Chain A
Amino acid sequence: MKKLPITELDSFLKSLNMPVYLPSDDPSGQAKFTRWAEGVQLTQQLNTVRSAKDLFFPQMENLVDFKVQDQKIEIIEHRNVSENFVIFGVRACDAAAFEILDRVFLSDPVDGYYKERRDHALIVTMACSAPEETCFCTAFGIDAADPKGDVTAWKTEDSFFFRANTGKGEKLIAGLADGDESAVQAQQAQTREILSKLPNGKLDLTGFDGAHMMEKFNDSRWKELSEACLGCGTCTFVCPTCQCYDVREFNTGDTIQRFRCWDSCMYSDFTKMSAGQPRPTQLERFRQRFMHKLVYFPDNNDGVYGCVGCGRCLQKCPIHMNIVKVAKTIGGEGNG
């Protein structure tokens, strides 16, 4: 275990000599992953409004350019090269979400845009010490007191403690002084105590599996659950595991840029074709989001759910609908 006084964070980050992104408050007080420079402060808030997925899967990114002239087309590939960079202060839930995104983007055929960034990233996670009521990472077996990543960090009153989990991580903190684990252990015990009392921490997800797919799909309560949904897509955009995208083009006058951008299954045009619309009302779209996370994705991915319990959709949905309410309504008996 390594130790660093909080007051020396800036000089440590500077010494890393590569781009560092960390959660910092913007002028409006919202925490977001920001490129560190001297003076950029680590936020005191529990988590960022938007997740850390932007750093691997940006909201918008250019894929390829074309030049079209008469009958000829030229393909202009701009090689997507990333330099090594550090993401500092990722919470346990968001770190777990990277593994879910990996299952999508790194499975055959591998998405090179994502992989390039993923390969060059060093992830320093930050253990939670004050989980909030909206957190339910424990329901997915995530330990917020001991997150994964190349390096795990704990922040106490006056110091950071670091533990390397990978070879890459070891190099990153090699220069720091050794520290005593007892402060970390004390914090972990406290955090786990809070985690064990979270209102949704023991969400019962039994029955959300491939074997019950049609039963869940046909549940009559989707109607009441989806009734007030505005189809705004907020839940999908703040979600660290939502990965649906659209591919579009923009004509600069000189070239055609083909880019991808986040999309949302909550939108009516997501599946709309000239030949028809398989999800004509918000009920079907709403159901798709939750069925995907709770039934389809785990069925295709060794039982891993497409949710990490970060609580963002609980905080941000304008009508206060969310995955917890869905799970409680049509999920296991244990939800009481």
Chain B
Amino acid sequence: MAEYREPLIPMLGVVTAIRTDTPDVKTFTVTGLDGKKPFVHIPGQCAMLSIPGVGEALFSITSSPTKEDALEFSIKKCGCVTDWLHAMEPGQQITIRGPYGSGFPVDTDFRGKDLVFVAGGIGLAPLHSVINYVRANRANYGKVDIVYGSRSMQDLVDFDEILNEWSKEEGITVHLTIDREQPEWKGHVGFVPNYVKELGFDTSRTVVMCGPPIMIKFTLAGLMELGFDKSNIYTTLEMKMKCALGKCGRCNIGTKYICKDGPVFRLDQLDELPDEY
């Protein structure tokens, strides 16, 4: 058995690299002080990052478990802790604890399936982990389609990786879209939910979606129209968190604690919960 650690006491980490993805999204590479990856995770799981004096907040881990040397977090600037993270320089120490949550069923339910990933804006962060995990274990999964949209071309996170790696891989088709026309943009224009409907995927596929609530809502409506079953659709929920241990009570919805039982849920599971997210 591992040595007992007080679950609320974090360990130290260091931000070794910072990449600017969009005007308000940066990706942070984090290792332990020993230069190694702080812990092993499952795609979809999260970690608590903090700068003492500023606060602690939960972020989904963007990198795939197959990335061996560090964890990565793509973080959008939207308040206290994130503002601070965006302002700091590489070499900065932070605190980290985790991994938390249930993660996606990558080694069970997703196996052998044809997958569709649907992401809006920063919603790509948790899916990024799954997508790269699927790529690293390609033989275990069928066809992959990725539908990703953002406000503008500049707001597409991981644009280079998507263009230069994902789109070039066999069996993976990437469908990018932006909300409004831009002179230098040659691709699709329009909102994600409509695009998903236009693409009209086969209803036998497993869909994993992540993005703003409004995108989730309309994409889901479209998928229902296409005849998808809710038990084949996955998403992640966002709630205010403090402990991430299922104890402080903050993220409790119905009989579930989002920090512990989520953040990943199947849509048919969500139907059985009060609509308080």
> Within the assembled complex, what's the spacing in Å between the Cα atoms of A75 and B240?
25
Say yes or no for A112: interface residue by CB 8 A criterion. Answer: yes
> Within the assembled complex, what's the spacing in Å between the Cα atoms of A217 and B276?
11
> Shortest Cβ distance from A81 into chain B, in angstroms?
13
Complex contacts, A275 vs chain B, CB 8 Å: 78, 238
Nearest A residue (CB) for B212: A275
Q: Which residues of B (215-269) have their CB < 8 Å from a CB of A?
A: 238-240, 242-243, 245-250, 252-255
Say yes or no for B144: interface residue by CB 8 A criterion. Answer: no
Contact of A73 with B243 in the complex, beta carbons under 8 Å: no
Complex contacts, B272 vs chain A, CB 8 Å: 213-214
Our pick among B11, B79, B248 for the contact of A244 (Cβ within 8 Å) is: B248
Q: Given contacts A71-B89, A73-B95, are A112 and B6 in contact (CB under 8 A)?
A: yes
Our pick among A113, A274, A288 for the contact of B252 (Cβ within 8 Å) is: A288
Q: Mark A55-71, 1 if CB is under 8 A from B, else 0.
A: 00000000110101001
Contact of B8 with A64 in the complex, beta carbons under 8 Å: yes
Q: Looking at chain A, what size class is its interface with the partner chain?
A: 35 or more
Contact of B7 with A109 in the complex, beta carbons under 8 Å: yes
Contact of A296 with B56 in the complex, beta carbons under 8 Å: no
Say yes or no for A278: interface residue by CB 8 A criterion. Answer: yes
Contact of A73 with B12 in the complex, beta carbons under 8 Å: yes
Contact of A278 with B248 in the complex, beta carbons under 8 Å: no
Contact of A73 with B52 in the complex, beta carbons under 8 Å: yes
Contact of B249 with A213 in the complex, beta carbons under 8 Å: no
Contact of B240 with A210 in the complex, beta carbons under 8 Å: no
Complex contacts, B242 vs chain A, CB 8 Å: 245-247
Contact of A279 with B276 in the complex, beta carbons under 8 Å: yes
Say yes or no for B277: interface residue by CB 8 A criterion. Answer: yes
Our pick among A73, A251, A272, A291 for the contact of B93 (Cβ within 8 Å) is: A73
Complex contacts, B187 vs chain A, CB 8 Å: none
Nearest B residue (CB) for A278: B276
Say yes or no for A258: interface residue by CB 8 A criterion. Answer: yes
Contact of B249 with A265 in the complex, beta carbons under 8 Å: yes
Contact of A274 with B55 in the complex, beta carbons under 8 Å: no
Complex contacts, A111 vs chain B, CB 8 Å: 7-8, 245, 247
- On chain B, the number of residues with a Cβ less than 8 Å from chain A's Cβ atoms is 41
> Shortest Cβ distance from B92 into chain A, in angstroms?
5
Our pick among B4, B95, B213, B240 for the contact of A272 (Cβ within 8 Å) is: B240
Complex contacts, B250 vs chain A, CB 8 Å: 244, 246, 263, 270-271
Our pick among A113, A251, A272, A274 for the contact of B53 (Cβ within 8 Å) is: A251
Question: Chain A: residues with CB nearer than 8 A to chain B?
Answer: 63-64, 66, 68, 71-73, 75, 77, 104-105, 107, 109-113, 210, 213-214, 217, 243-247, 249, 251, 256, 258, 260, 263, 265, 270-276, 278-279, 284, 288, 291-292, 295-296, 299-300
Complex contacts, A217 vs chain B, CB 8 Å: 254, 274
Contact of A258 with B52 in the complex, beta carbons under 8 Å: yes
Contact of B9 with A77 in the complex, beta carbons under 8 Å: yes
Complex contacts, A77 vs chain B, CB 8 Å: 6, 9
Our pick among B9, B51, B243, B245 for the contact of A75 (Cβ within 8 Å) is: B9
Complex contacts, A272 vs chain B, CB 8 Å: 240
The DSSP consensus for interface residues of chain A is mixed
> Shortest Cβ distance from B246 into chain A, in angstroms?
8
Contact of B254 with A243 in the complex, beta carbons under 8 Å: no
> Shortest Cβ distance from A176 into chain B, in angstroms?
38
Say yes or no for B10: interface residue by CB 8 A criterion. Answer: yes
Contact of B52 with A249 in the complex, beta carbons under 8 Å: yes
Contact of A256 with B52 in the complex, beta carbons under 8 Å: yes
Complex contacts, B239 vs chain A, CB 8 Å: 271, 273, 278
Say yes or no for B30: interface residue by CB 8 A criterion. Answer: no
Our pick among A75, A105, A214, A245 for the contact of B95 (Cβ within 8 Å) is: A75
Complex contacts, B238 vs chain A, CB 8 Å: 273, 275
Contact of B93 with A104 in the complex, beta carbons under 8 Å: no
> Within the assembled complex, what's the spacing in Å between the Cα atoms of A63 and B238?
26
Q: List 15 A-B contacts (CB under 8 A).
A: A64-B10, A75-B11, A77-B9, A217-B254, A245-B247, A246-B248, A265-B249, A272-B240, A274-B78, A275-B238, A276-B213, A278-B239, A278-B253, A288-B252, A291-B274
Complex contacts, A258 vs chain B, CB 8 Å: 52, 56
Our pick among A244, A288, A300 for the contact of B255 (Cβ within 8 Å) is: A300
Say yes or no for B94: interface residue by CB 8 A criterion. Answer: yes
Say yes or no for B91: interface residue by CB 8 A criterion. Answer: yes
Contact of A71 with B274 in the complex, beta carbons under 8 Å: no
Q: Given contacts A247-B243, A276-B213, A296-B254, are A63 and B249 in contact (CB under 8 A)?
A: no
> Within the assembled complex, what's the spacing in Å between the Cα atoms of A277 and B231?
27
Contact of A263 with B247 in the complex, beta carbons under 8 Å: no
